[in-house]
């Protein structure tokens, strides 16, 4: 089956009213971030439903991304995870593989949220009904692996054993990369997707809905709304999870009901670059080549704001805006792009560029931790640079087109750029400023009339 993107993008977030999800949690494999909990007693191991909303931000060639895993040991385990960009339910009992169901569908949309529901019920007489996988409310019916559990088999999820979210459980495998929210694990019930979501009457987009039923033994609900207790179970069962390498700084406002721009790892020239930290950081991993990433959302109108913090040193860290319609990468920079670009060189100056041609220095003696604000006005075709909150330079008469933000790194010292589109940033924020609608978390307040690049703002201004 072809790579089909069913992720929830702008249309979903444009729906007025309805159920709102305020927070998600960012997981980063490089930091070995995950949750774990060992239940005190066994629940129902034959029948359960696991629902979550996810936004992937890194694409692994083989395995990567355990959404839940029960792993007491290598011979007795069960996981829901990504395998070769597909959803897989895999389990063993006493060393023998008892279940291996994997979709043909490829999950490679890094710009939007998916709703994943796995329904497990080994009491069913028909083998194919014992494991069901739904994507955005639609039942998957095409698989490349179809080993179903025997009838009435007790599998490991729901047992009195160690359960993990964000990794397999062996401490080295299947670390998840991206955002996750609205985790509902319902023990003892095989539920329909309509318990967790619904199709919008006007747009037809699958959107979140509050689950109002019971959770059963060992059931839990994680919404990540309390930054001081991110592992807290809100189901009423008290099944709180332990955080591992996760702090309050990993809480995000990038959610299925307000999807923010991130860096797109499927972009123009990211062959050896690392796109990490919820797709807000690009690092060229020490190679000398130019590596580039675009924002995952492009716009043709409105006023938009983002911030970048580049690493300073003997290399280039470029940033700015790019015209998706005309940009051409020539191996070292962009031409015919219709954009202005800032460039750090040797850690002392910002240079001014247009279509790949230098146009002079605009700031000197910049220091580590500098925050560059980018204020893009596509109603008047201008771009303003702000340095630590102060306006520094304006570009005018931008060519028409579809624009996004861009980050570009080059050098042998492993240069990086940390971006902040408002939904999450690895930068330490001291001011927590938002746009006029209250969206985004920035170090400096966006200029009057400028907005975070997210789907709620796109619905109003885009």
User: How many other CB atoms sit within 10 Å of the CB of residue 323?
Assistant: 21
C-alpha–C-alpha distance, residues 455 and 460, integer Å: 9
pTM for this prediction: 0.93
Q: What is the 3-state secondary structure (H, E, C) of the chain?
A: CCCCCCCECHHHHCCCCCCCCCCEEEECHHHCCEEEEECCCCCCCCEEEEEEEEEECCCCCCEEEEEEEEEEECCEEEEEEEECCEEEEEEEECCEEEEEEEECCCCCCCCCEEEEEEEEECCCCCHHHCEEEEECCEECCCEEEEECCCCCCCCCCCCCCEEEECCCCCCCCCCCCEEEEEEEEEECCCCCHHHCEEECCCCCCEEECCCCCCCCCCCEEECCCCCCCCCCCCCCCCCCCEEECCCHHHEECCECCECECCECCCCCECCCCEEECCCCEEECCCCCCCEEEEECCCECCCEEEEEEEECCCCCEEEEEEEECCCCEECCCCEECCCCEEEEEECCCEEEEEECCEEEEEEEECCCCCCCEEEEEECCCCEEEEEECCEEEEEECCCCCCCEEEEEEEECCCCCEEEEECCCCCCCCCCCCECCCCCCCCECCCCCCCCEECEHHHHHHHC
Provide the pLDDT for residue 45: 97
Interacting residues of 107 by C-beta distance below 8 A, sequence separation 6+: 56, 82, 85, 86, 87, 114, 135
Provide the pLDDT for residue 55: 97
Please say whether the beta carbons of 115 and 256 come within 8 A.
yes
Provide the pLDDT for residue 99: 98
Residue-wise pLDDT tens digits, 373-418: 999 999 999 988 888 999 887 888 888 889 999 888 877 667 888 9
Q: Which of the four pLDDT bands, split at 50, 70 and 90, describes residue 16?
A: very low
Provide the pLDDT for residue 348: 59
pLDDT over threshold 70, residue 308: yes
Please say whether the beta carbons of 454 and 440 come within 8 A.
yes
Provide the pLDDT for residue 2: 37
Closest CA relative to residue 412, chosen from 285, 278, 267: 285
Residue-wise pLDDT tens digits, 355-374: 656 655 666 566 778 898 99
Provide the pLDDT for residue 7: 41
Q: Which of the four pLDDT bands, split at 50, 70 and 90, describes residue 187?
A: very high
Please compute the mean of the pLDDT values over residues 53-58 and round it to a whole number: 94
Q: What is the 3-state secondary structure (H, E, C) of 314-367?
A: CCEEEEEEEECCCCEECCCCEECCCCEEEEEECCCEEEEEECCEEEEEEEECCC
Provide the pLDDT for residue 8: 41
Provide the pLDDT for residue 334: 54
């Amino acid at each position: 089956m072809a790579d089909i993107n069913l992720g929830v993008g702008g249309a979903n977030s444009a729906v007025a009213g309805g159920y709102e999800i305020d927070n998600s949690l960012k997981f980063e494999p490089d930091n070995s971030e995950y949750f774990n909990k060992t239940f005190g007693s066994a629940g129902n191991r034959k029948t359960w439903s696991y629902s979550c909303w996810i936004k992937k931000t890194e694409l692994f060639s083989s395995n990567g991304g355990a959404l839940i895993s029960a792993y007491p040991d290598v011979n007795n385990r069960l996981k829901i995870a990504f395998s070769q960009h597909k959803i897989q339910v895999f389990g063993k009992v006493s060393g023998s593989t008892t279940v291996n169901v994997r979709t043909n569908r490829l999950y490679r949309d890094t710009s939007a949220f998916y709703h994943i529901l796995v329904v497990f019920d080994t009491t069913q007489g028909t083998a194919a009904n014992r494991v069901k996988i739904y994507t955005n409310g639609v039942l998957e019916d095409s698989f490349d692996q179809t080993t179903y559990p025997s009838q009435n088999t007790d599998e490991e999820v729901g047992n009195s054993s160690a359960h993990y979210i964000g990794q397999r459980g062996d401490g080295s495998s299947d670390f998840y990369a991206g955002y996750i929210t609205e985790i509902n694990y319902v023990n003892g019930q095989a539920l329909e997707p309509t318990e967790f979501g619904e199709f919008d009457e006007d747009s037809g987009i699958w959107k979140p809905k509050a689950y109002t039923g019971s959770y059963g033994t060992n059931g839990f609900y994680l919404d990540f709304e309390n930054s001081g207790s991110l592992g807290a179970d809100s189901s009423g069962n008290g099944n709180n999870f332990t955080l591992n390498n996760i702090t309050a700084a990993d809480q995000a406002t990038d959610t299925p009901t307000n999807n923010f721009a991130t860096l797109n790892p499927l972009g123009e020239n990211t062959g050896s670059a690392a796109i990490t930290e919820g797709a807000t950081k690009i690092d060229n991993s020490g190679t000398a080549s130019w590596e580039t990433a675009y924002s995952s959302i492009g716009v043709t109108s409105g006023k938009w704001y983002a911030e970048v913090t580049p690493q300073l040193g003997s290399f280039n860290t470029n940033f700015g805006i790019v015209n998706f319609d005309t940009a051409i990468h020539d191996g070292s920079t962009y031409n015919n792009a219709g954009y202005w670009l800032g460039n750090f060189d040797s850690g002392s100056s910002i240079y001014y560029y247009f279509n790949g041609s230098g146009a002079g220095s605009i700031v000197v003696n910049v220091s580590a931790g500098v925050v560059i604000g980018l204020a893009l006005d596509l109603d008047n075709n201008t771009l303003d640079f702000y340095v630590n909150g102060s306006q520094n330079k304006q570009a005018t008469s931008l060519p028409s087109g579809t624009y996004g933000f861009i980050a570009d790194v080059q050098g042998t010292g492993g240069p990086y750029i940390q971006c902040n589109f408002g939904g999450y940033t690895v930068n330490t924020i001291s001011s927590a400023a938002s746009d006029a609608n209250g969206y985004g978390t920035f170090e400096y307040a966006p200029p009057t009339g400028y907005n975070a690049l997210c789907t709620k703002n796109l619905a109003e201004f885009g």
